[in-house]
């Protein structure tokens, strides 16, 4: 790792004195109550089902008309469609009536089969979920409402949203995307209408849910602000609802069943807010901990939450608590790496190995990785933590990228959100940055006073200097970087979110994942270290379907990144200034840690070709 990179990592995990109170403690009794109620509901439901079954069996016994061979085909275990379950066991008032019914059913089945063979996606989807039932934990069955969607509409959706699914084990067409929330299997969570503030699933949610709900490992790559948090949160909650509570449970050790790892404290808190809202609806409990907060406070929170089902954490603090023994991941059947490429890069690699190594083995757990950027460098490592992952990419046909050859293949995984207007200003003299920044802010604030503006710097010291400069110029400004205590960081972020401060100066601790509504403009005062960081930084605007603007200062010092930046701009149909082109369009191949620039990334799983010389 370069010195500069190390510097940034330290910023993310740096301990500070101030403690942030983690919420959720007070919710425990309510959630416990809910859990009991849900359990009771489930029991009642099961009881009723059993009664119904018994009645049917008695009916059959009294009739004594039908042989065992006459039994209707038994449907596979279903999680959603009541109608299908009922189809499987029709009532039988008399033998003739029953035969008639059976014939009708056969006709219906034949028709269905015919339709299936015409409609490969649907057929495969249903086949797949049945075939997968044994090796995986999930049991997803495509809902009837999704099955009736014409294949043409499915194909149009996949094409329009540029959905690419690559599944190493499915030979044929992938599971159908869920186009509407109502097409998800009917479950306890679904019945809570958790999605009521949204109109439809985003493409990454639509395409990844069926696989994740089937219990498959998933790599999901989709633009910034496209709803990836819910893409992994919904399957976690559904899966935990289906599986039994952790057997081990004690006051001193927490045994979560799902763990979500986030690269920064603020992102961990944000993800925790999102999943705890969902989990709370169905009586599951969650806990969040991260570096920079008081360890004693977090330990006692863990004790209060000793039955927590889901843990959201930053790697450093999680590792500490694992070493102390106050948390154990031995029951964790679900692991999520949010911002997966960051979690797998050199700075976090060892921590992630340890954390995932503490969960159930990869064959016995479900592993999900989500990100907006998926560089080649981390893909092989990612595979070692997963079993036959399905890879779902949204967008990409127009992607340029970080590809030396320019064929776009590697660049497929690096695309800026196309709703962001990107402007690059090449500055001849880096000393002119602050004056230009002030001018832009003034102009912007004149137009729309309440717009949130995020200003990115590369170094902590630079952020302090820019913050002071803007304050001196009379601009109300907040800051978030590693030299600030956690309490101060949280305060700045809250003030920015609330709009009491409309300009936030940040380092890359705020580059990934943060979802702040109404950020209209991102300004990069100094170019980030990697092009992926650029994509994430500007992705703080233009979220959830909105538009945004990004202005980037580029100087002679950044010229090594010009080729990659040009590719990103071109792929998003953004103008490329002539001054930027002058720095060159070549994309330097990334150097390997050990083999340097001579390293060639080859697929080691390929078998050698036998060449015969005549
Ligand atoms: N189906 C949906 N429809 C509309 N908005 C949604 C939907 N799902 C999530 N959102 C909203 O979209 C916003 C961005 O979501 P999220 O933070 O999960 O994006 P992301 O893809 O993880 O972004 P990043 O790559 O920056 O981490 C959030 O405010 C979230 O509430």
Describe the strand order of the beta sheet including 366-371 as a list of residue ranges. 163-166, 390-394, 218-221, 366-371, 334-338, 258-261, 310-313, 286-289
**Helix, strand, or coil (residue 448):** coil
Residues of the chain with pLDDT under 70: 1-138, 170-173, 246-249, 397-413, 448-449, 588-614
Distance CA 194, CA 421 (A): 32
User: What is the Å distance from ligand 1's center to 205 Cα?
Assistant: 10
Nearest ligand 1 atom to alpha carbon 536:
26
What confidence score (pLDDT) does residue 52 get?
54
- CB of 256 closer than 8 Å to CB of 311: yes
Q: Report yes or no for ipTM above 0.95.
A: yes
Distance CA 159, CA 155 (A): 6
What confidence score (pLDDT) does residue 69 get?
27
Tokens of 103: 């014939």
User: What is the Å distance from ligand 1's center to 544 Cα?
Assistant: 5
Integer angstrom CA distances of residue 318 from 252, 256, 259, 272, 302: 15, 12, 10, 14, 12
Query: Ligand 1, atom 27: nearest CA belongs to which residue?
Result: 513
Distance CA 526, CA 459 (A): 9
User: What is the Å distance from ligand 1's center to 195 Cα?
Assistant: 12
* Angle at CA of residue 309, ends 306 and 313, nearest 5°: 85
- CB of 540 closer than 8 Å to CB of 510: yes
Same fold, 144-394 and 420-582: yes
List b or e across 225-262, with b for residues whose CB sees 16 or more CB atoms inside 10 angstroms: bbbbbbbbbbbbbbbbbeeeebeeeeeebbbbbbbbbb
Place of tokens 């008309």: 65
Nearest ligand 1 atom to alpha carbon 517:
29
Query: Ligand 1, atom 15: nearest CA belongs to which residue?
Result: 227
User: What is the Å distance from ligand 1's center to 475 Cα?
Assistant: 30
Query: Ligand 1, atom 9: nearest CA belongs to which residue?
Result: 227
What confidence score (pLDDT) does residue 100 get?
52
Distance CA 315, CA 13 (A): 9
Tell which one of 205, 220, 221, 226 to mutate to probe ligand 1, the residue whose CB is within 8 A of the most ligand atoms.
Answer: 226
User: What is the Å distance from ligand 1's center to 287 Cα?
Assistant: 21
User: What is the Å distance from ligand 1's center to 163 Cα?
Assistant: 17
Nearest ligand 1 atom to alpha carbon 198:
3
Nearest ligand 1 atom to alpha carbon 195:
1
CATH of region 420-582, choose from 1.10.540.10, 3.40.50.800, 3.40.50.10580, 3.40.50.300: 3.40.50.300
Distance CA 568, CA 532 (A): 10
Q: Give the strand pairing for 286-289 and 519-524.
A: unpaired
Distance CA 524, CA 454 (A): 9
Pocket of ligand 1 (CB under 6 A): 198, 201-202, 205, 224-230, 372, 513, 515, 539, 543-544
What confidence score (pLDDT) does residue 96 get?
43
- Residue ranges per structural domain of the chain: 144-394, 420-582
**Helix, strand, or coil (residue 187):** coil
Tell which one of 234, 370, 515 to mutate to probe ligand 1, the residue whose CB is within 8 A of the most ligand atoms.
Answer: 515
Nearest ligand 1 atom to alpha carbon 222:
21
CATH of region 144-394, choose from 1.20.272.10, 1.20.210.10, 3.40.50.300, 3.90.420.10: 3.40.50.300
User: What is the Å distance from ligand 1's center to 513 Cα?
Assistant: 9
**Helix, strand, or coil (residue 391):** strand
User: What is the Å distance from ligand 1's center to 104 Cα?
Assistant: 46
What confidence score (pLDDT) does residue 414 get?
79
Place of tokens 């934990």: 137
What confidence score (pLDDT) does residue 494 get?
95
Distance CA 91, CA 203 (A): 41
User: What is the Å distance from ligand 1's center to 220 Cα?
Assistant: 14
Nearest ligand 1 atom to alpha carbon 540:
26
């Amino acid at each position: 790792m370069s010195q500069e990179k190390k510097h940034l990592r330290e910023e993310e995990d740096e301990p500070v004195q101030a403690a942030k109170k983690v919420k959720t403690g007070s919710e425990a009794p309510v959630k416990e109550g809910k859990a009991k109620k849900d359990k009771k509901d489930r029991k009642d439901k099961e009881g009723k089902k059993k009664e119904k079954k018994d009645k049917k069996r008695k009916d059959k016994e009294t009739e004594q008309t039908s042989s065992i061979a006459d039994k209707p085909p038994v449907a596979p275990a279903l999680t959603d469609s009541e109608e299908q379950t009922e189809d499987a066991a029709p009532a039988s008032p008399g033998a003739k009536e029953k035969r008639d019914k059976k014939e009708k059913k056969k006709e219906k089945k034949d028709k269905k089969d015919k339709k299936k063979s015409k409609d490969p996606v649907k057929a495969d989807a249903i086949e797949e979920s049945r075939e997968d039932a044994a090796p995986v934990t999930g049991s997803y069955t495509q809902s009837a409402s999704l099955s009736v969607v014409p294949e043409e509409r499915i194909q149009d959706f996949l094409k329009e949203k540029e959905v690419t699914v690559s599944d190493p084990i499915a030979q044929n067409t992938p599971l159908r995307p869920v186009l509407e929330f109502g097409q998800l299997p009917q479950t306890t969570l679904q019945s809570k209408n958790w999605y009521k503030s949204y109109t439809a699933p985003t493409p990454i949610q639509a395409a990844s849910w069926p696989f994740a709900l089937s219990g498959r490992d998933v790599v999901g790559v989709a633009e910034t602000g496209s709803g990836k948090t819910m893409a992994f949160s919904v399957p976690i909650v559904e899966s935990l609802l289906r599986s039994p509570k952790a057997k081990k449970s004690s006051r001193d050790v927490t045994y979560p069943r799902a763990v979500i790892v986030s690269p920064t404290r603020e992102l961990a808190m944000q993800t925790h807010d999102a999943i705890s809202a969902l989990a709370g609806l169905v009586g599951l409990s969650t806990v969040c901990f991260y570096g920079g907060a008081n360890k004693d406070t977090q330990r006692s929170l863990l004790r209060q939450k000793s039955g927590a089902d889901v843990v959201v954490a930053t790697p450093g603090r999680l590792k500490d608590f694992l070493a102390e023994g106050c948390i154990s991941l031995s029951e964790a059947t679900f692991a999520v790496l949010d911002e997966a490429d960051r979690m797998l890069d050199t700075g976090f690699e060892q921590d992630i190995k340890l954390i995932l190594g503490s969960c159930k083995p990869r064959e016995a757990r479900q592993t999900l990785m989500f990100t907006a950027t998926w560089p080649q460098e981390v893909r092989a490592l990612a595979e070692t933590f997963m079993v036959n992952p399905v890879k779902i990419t949204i967008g990409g046909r127009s992607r340029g990228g970080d590809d030396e050859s320019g064929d776009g293949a590697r660049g497929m995984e690096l695309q800026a959100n196309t709703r962001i207007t990107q402007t690059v200003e090449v500055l001849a003299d880096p000393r002119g940055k602050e004056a230009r920044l002030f001018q832009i802010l003034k102009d912007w604030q004149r137009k729309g006073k309440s717009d949130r503006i995020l200003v990115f710097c590369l170094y902590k010291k630079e952020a302090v200097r820019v913050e002071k400069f803007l304050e001196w110029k009379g601009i109300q400004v907040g800051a978030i970087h590693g030299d600030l205590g956690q309490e101060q960081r949280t305060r700045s972020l809250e003030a920015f979110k609330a709009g009491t401060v409309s300009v936030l100066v940040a380092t890359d601790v705020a580059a990934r994942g943060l979802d702040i509504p109404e950020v209209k403009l991102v300004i990069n005062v100094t170019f980030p270290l990697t092009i992926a960081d650029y994509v994430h930084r500007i992705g703080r605007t233009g979220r959830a379907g909105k538009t945004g603007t990004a202005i980037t200062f580029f100087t002679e010092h950044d010229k090594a990144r010009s080729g990659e930046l040009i590719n990103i701009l071109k792929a998003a149909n953004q103008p490329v200034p002539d001054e930027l082109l002058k720095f060159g369009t070549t994309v330097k191949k990334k150097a390997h840690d050990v083999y340097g620039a001579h390293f060639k990334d080859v697929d080691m799983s390929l078998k050698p070709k036998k060449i015969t010389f005549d």
